[in-house]
Structure 1
């Protein structure tokens, strides 16, 4: 008997003995191990204690019957979110960010080390951020550390304090308090991380290539696109690959935009280089050809590229070259996002989409004939694996009872003013989508958007 079948048999036996569960969720469509089928899920003490066929009888203090139009999914895990608190809470904050995440079916997020003040580049800054988040989190929250010039001695202490890995930039980050590394300094830090098998996650755009490109200015999107050429990503990604090859460290490419880099990534993976890759909803659902002049809500770095580039990113997801999809939720105030009256050289570069990711990706995937199960792989299973959260991103005995109740056929019209994001600006405002999150559950409790019940999580926690 396999471990999986043994666990299922034990769960069924427990159910047959009439043990009452804290919560039982029952539905005709429940996603378990890549298959949707009629099932019941029993929850005790915040963990999944039983997964049985729908015809079995589970008793619970609370029994939730899903509608025929609903699917029970594992809660999504978004490993790329800029919450910005403390220091820039007017951009976003743990209360608004975690409510938005829950409304989008995200039950765990990992917060980036910037654009908070202080950035998470030492243990004291991590503790400051944890203290602020603890009383505000509606979902579970973990933290990345930062790798910047001069904090080499802080990397191991941050790792020991529970940081999930370390983010670096290879060009100016957009905020002065989080300085970039040179490729040589990145490799030196990766050699340190290899000693304790931590993960370097990299904003991979080459500073020299960007410096040589045209300056972004004015309202034309074509001009902005020219200022962030694909070659900047391609050059930086090659540097990350070679550093990972030489040091043996694990490396992760953030927010891949350039399809030109895919062949190098495929070759590196085939060679055994320990590299993983993510992309984002804006690269998979938007296209440069359709971005109006002056529409700085679309500005992000690296930029949204052409339709043909987008199609190649989808192909790379399908063949496993790209491992996962994350939001890269990078909000700012409306004033910063629309600065300069639509001038792409002045506006803040970042897309707000934390609440919308599942709906966006499912809507596009459905058009392409891609099953919902694959979407969940990219947005829950693989993101959980990236950060070592074995109890997240799946519905199975022993896992955390984190769920998203999803209605894949329900229509949605995005209204930025009605989102939980602190600032009502997103390139998706007015977009018609198919797929709505009806509710989210964290550790067996339904998120009510009033009482923060999320927990702070650390690397290596069971």
Structure 2
């Protein structure tokens, strides 16, 4: 072992006993540069274990994973020490809002926030943007907007609406970059809908090419509620559990009857869990996600007038939250996503504190990993659970399970290097979302993201980004099916 210096930075030279080559460790690697190898004492290996290893990278792909941490090639190594190295997070539920509502968010700011949070792939939802992703023309407009702006890889859900479910539209044409289909309930301008049909025709997606229906809904509100709009309970009681339960029951019935893949988005109510468990036990091709806010925020702790906490479905009780965590551990909930849904400050009605008028949505794309780990590590979850719930299962849902979400040869070299023991406080100056409103402002979390690698390129490190966006838009072959 020998040492040398380059400027003010220390470099370690590791002699390979089997040859005369040397490897450079702890080099001052420039942001945006190509990473040839990553070393750590805590690498999340493909066999669900965590241990020392070296990951060799070639042409943006993982070439080899060497357990034990011995370097066998003459390459420059990014040595992460005892920081955790795991697959980059795949967040399959993100609202970027560009084009049409770029004052809310955009590809540049959203993907920078993603990179700062160890998220290496996002999938943009088809609603909120104007126009929504329901036709090839609309998708192509989104692709044009995204070009040259993405710091992480980006894909797009296609939306099913009346009139396009039987045509070779955006929902089926993966040559143009869409990875899955999505069906949503009516709502504000820019949202999507699939209208009820007595014969159910038009509600059930084609079983070929077997893309999952991405469904949620709402029942009519026919009950009296508290009237003080600044009290969170007023909003909460206007969105009772039964609304969510009945919507999920409808999806489960269709999923079971037609055996078409269905996915329940942003599960908030634990009362729906028995329906979900019964369907899965019966073999229904059903997957379920929940979000960081339902796992970390509780209705009892929402301050009066704090409309930054408003989202739909609503944040529910702490008892409900405990049940979600139990279902996550038992495998009844398959994944955790951000449902990053930002807006401008005026739409949150912070001046009046009126929950009934405020836009519903929470920004958390940048903080998903520490939000999950801060709570999960106290509940018996392990590092491999984070990989399963935020990398592997989300990648599989999007049709990217053979490309993303694992540290294995042939997979994209998307990695996050982070310190699960380090604590930090969320401060406005450190938030990279376009709009800084978040209920997590001032909250202390465990799990600091140190570096993010996308396609073998170092795109983020310690608060700084590569000078140029290095992410790409993703295509999924039409024959690729992950049941």
Per-residue Cα deviation, 1:119-168 (whole angstroms, up to 9, x for no partner): 10111001110111121000000000112233324465432234222222
Answer whether contact 1:45 1:444 (CA < 8 A) is retained: yes
Per-residue Cα deviation, 1:79-107 (whole angstroms, up to 9, x for no partner): 00000000101100000000000100000
Distance 2:180 2:451 in 1: 30
2:305 matched to 1:285?
Answer: no
The two structures, once aligned, show a CA RMSD in angstroms of 2.2
Deviation for aligned residue 1:184: 3.2
Judging by fraction of residues, say which structure has more helix.
1
Distance 1:16 1:111 in 2: 48
Aligned equivalent of 2:406: 394
Kindly tell me: are residues 38 and 234 of structure 1, through their superposed partners in 2, closer, same or farther at Cα, counting changes over 3 Å? same
Aligned equivalent of 2:471: 454
Q: Number of paired residues?
A: 443
Answer whether contact 1:42 1:60 (CA < 8 A) is retained: no
- Aligned pairs (5 A) from 1:375-454: 375-389=386-400, 390-448=402-460, 449=465, 450-454=467-471
Per-residue Cα deviation, 1:330-382 (whole angstroms, up to 9, x for no partner): 00011112356110011110000000000000000111121121122100011
- Aligned pairs (5 A) from 1:322-361: 322-338=333-349, 341-361=352-372
- Aligned pairs (5 A) from 1:194-205: 194-205=207-218
2:79 matched to 1:47?
Answer: no
Kindly tell me: are residues 195 and 188 of structure 1, through their superposed partners in 2, closer, same or farther at Cα, counting changes over 3 Å? farther
SS in 2 for 1:184: coil
Deviation for aligned residue 1:187: 4.5
After TM superposition, the score normalised by the length of structure 2 is: 0.87
2:186 matched to 1:178?
Answer: no
Aligned equivalent of 1:7: none
Answer whether contact 2:217 2:247 (CA < 8 A) is retained: yes
Distance 2:428 2:183 in 1: 31
Distance 1:137 1:179 in 2: 25
Distance 2:69 2:333 in 1: 38
Deviation for aligned residue 1:391: 1.3
Distance 1:145 1:99 in 2: 23
SS in 1 for 2:171: helix
Structure ID, larger Rg: 2
Structure 2 unmatched ranges of 5 or more: 1-17, 24-33
Deviation for aligned residue 1:27: 0.8
Kindly tell me: are residues 215 and 112 of structure 1, through their superposed partners in 2, closer, same or farther at Cα, counting changes over 3 Å? farther
Structure 1 unmatched ranges of 5 or more: 1-14
Deviation for aligned residue 1:54: 3.1
Aligned equivalent of 1:36: 50
124, 129, 141: which is aligned to 1:116?
A: 129
Answer whether contact 1:183 1:239 (CA < 8 A) is retained: no
Aligned equivalent of 2:181: 166
SS in 2 for 1:277: strand
Kindly tell me: are residues 259 and 72 of structure 1, through their superposed partners in 2, closer, same or farther at Cα, counting changes over 3 Å? same
After TM superposition, the score normalised by the length of structure 1 is: 0.91
SS in 2 for 1:63: strand
Answer whether contact 1:187 1:247 (CA < 8 A) is retained: no
Answer whether contact 1:340 1:346 (CA < 8 A) is retained: no
Kindly tell me: are residues 245 and 447 of structure 1, through their superposed partners in 2, closer, same or farther at Cα, counting changes over 3 Å? same
